[in-house]
Amino acid sequence: MSHNFKIMNLKNLLKAVEKCHGSEILFSSYMREMTFWFAPFDPGVRHWTWPLFRYIFKPMERLVEKAGISSRWFSPEAIVIARKKQGDRD
């Protein structure tokens, strides 16, 4: 599996940034929606998977995109923007 659910947990990312002394979180969010970056006939993909792509994966991808669902489970990116708090000198 190439989607790492532990890393894609925004709460875990926020906790990691908060451990940095004097950090101030400016923005955090999941970005974009789920997409498949490979096709059923690409090298390394089992040839019998094409029905899964056609009837399950692609329709699910279109549904998630249309609904604009961004989450730990569907988004390819998570972002946290932080800076050192004003006045901290460490």
* Element spanning 83, H or E: strand 77-84
CA dist., res. 29 & res. 72, Å (int): 10
pLDDT in tens, 7-61: 778 888 899 999 998 899 999 988 877 777 777 888 888 888 888 888 888 888 8
Which ranges of the chain does DSSP label H, i.e. alpha helix?
A: 10-18, 50-52, 58-67
Q: Diameter of the chain by CA atoms?
A: 60
pTM: 0.57
Each residue's pLDDT tens digit, 61-72: 888 788 877 777
Q: Is 75 exposed, middle or buried (0-12, 13-18, 19+ CB in 10 A)?
A: buried
pLDDT tens for residues 73-84?
777 788 899 998
